[in-house]
Chains A and B, each alone.
Chain A
């Protein structure tokens, strides 16, 4: 029952993300969607993922989206243009996601996926959720874990390359030079009568 309630809230609020006119409201509805998704994770016994969703998505990604919304300087009336233009792309993405979900849930019977972990057995040994992830992520899924490091590295360097402007023209203070300056460097005594 709880699953139905929260997934209904997710659907409505994610529709509001797309449909609301003010982009800031869209971001706030996105936060609400993330919160409800984390509750669904909590219901399905994925505690660690639930907390991660709140820390990473609500705490960081949503703030990032807010920055983007504030930076883009969008006129909220112009935002509804081009809905039909993006529709085929959206349908395509939806199909890809549905296909991925199908592979995840039915992949075992189709022969795509062979799960390495017996989840029931893992929890019967008294492992907490976080520990269960830790026991497998760093050894059995070694390559995926290392690939995520490279994804993060690419994101880091990409963000710097795209968004960082080297502002050499701005004059900033060098504290070390300021503190080590001596009066001989700055004041020159000149005898004015001697000339």
Chain B
């Protein structure tokens, strides 16, 4: 069973982070001098009017790298309980993971040969 008390330091860290970040913004909001006028609060880009919208399009390559990352991330997540319990597992448990890795290695070879990992 989990001891929930073990997570209290994390909770304290979390609270400190929230207090620090919110406090910094809040304090400068309260105590800072504010004299807004039109030119000051309008958008600018190196002294020019903005050339394009802030929400520009990204290359689809970023998406591809992210989704390939998620898949291998999940593969690693599956390996954690396996590694912890391996010493008590039957041979079936060992070989099921080997087959799992084999199937994913097929995909890995496919994407390597296809050149999806090349950045251009």
The majority secondary structure among interface residues of chain B is helix
A60 CB-CB contact with B under 8 Å: yes
For the complex, what is the distance from the CA of A155 to the CA of B104, rounded to whole Å?
11
A70 CB-CB contact with B under 8 Å: yes
Interface size class of A (residues with CB under 8 A): 35 or more
Check A135/B73 contact, CB under 8 A, given A43-B4, A71-B63, A153-B103: no
For the complex, what is the distance from the CA of A145 to the CA of B104, rounded to whole Å?
12
Name the interface residues of B90-113: CB closer than 8 Å to any CB of A: 90, 92-93, 96-97, 99-100, 103-104, 106-108, 110-111
CB distance from A147 to the nearest CB of B (A): 10
Q: Is the CB of B63 within 8 A of A163?
A: yes
Across the interface, A56 reaches (CB within 8 A) one of B70, B83, B86, B103, namely B70
* Chain A residues in 8 Å Cβ range of B57: 70-71, 73
For the complex, what is the distance from the CA of A105 to the CA of B115, rounded to whole Å?
46
The majority secondary structure among interface residues of chain A is helix
Stretch at the interface among A44-52, A108-116, A180-188: A44-52
Check A160/B116 contact, CB under 8 A, given A68-B63, A130-B80, A155-B67: yes
In the complex formed, the residue of A with least CB distance to B57 is: A73
